[in-house]
């Protein structure tokens, strides 16, 4: 009976140490800003319209494509 109780106390002690470790990791992540915004970074790659410029100095905004007037369709049927 004594061996069963000693393993129980050991397991409770280990679980408390693990809980304190997770609590410490959570507090660290909140203080360093790890949980500030989880949604926007996943969308940033979908909204990025930049391409590298020829000089290699950085990125320039890519212009939006325009449709030439000659390819526009008219609403009148033939």
**Where does the pLDDT of residue 73 fall: very low under 50, low under 70, confident under 90, or very high at 90 and above?**
low
Instruction: Identify the bridge partners of residue 51 per DSSP, sorted by sequence position.
Output: 60
The pLDDT tens digits of the residues spanning 10-53 come to: 999 999 999 999 999 999 999 998 877 777 777 777 775 666 55
In which residue are the tokens 């449709």 written? 67
58 contact partners, CB below 8 Å, separation of at least 6: 52
- Tell whether the model's pLDDT for residue 63 goes beyond 80: no
Rounded Cα distance, 2 and 49, in Å: 68
**DSSP SS3 for 67:** coil
Structure tokens at 4: 């069963």
Is pLDDT of 65 > 70? no
């Amino acid at each position: 009976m004594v061996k069963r109780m000693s393993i129980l106390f050991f397991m409770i002690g280990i679980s408390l140490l693990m809980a304190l470790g997770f609590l410490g990791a959570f507090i660290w992540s909140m203080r360093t800003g790890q949980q500030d915004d989880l949604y926007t970074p996943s969308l940033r790659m979908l909204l990025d319209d930049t391409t590298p410029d020829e000089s290699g100095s950085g990125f320039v905004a890519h212009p939006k494509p325009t449709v030439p007037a000659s390819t526009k369709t008219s609403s009148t049927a033939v």
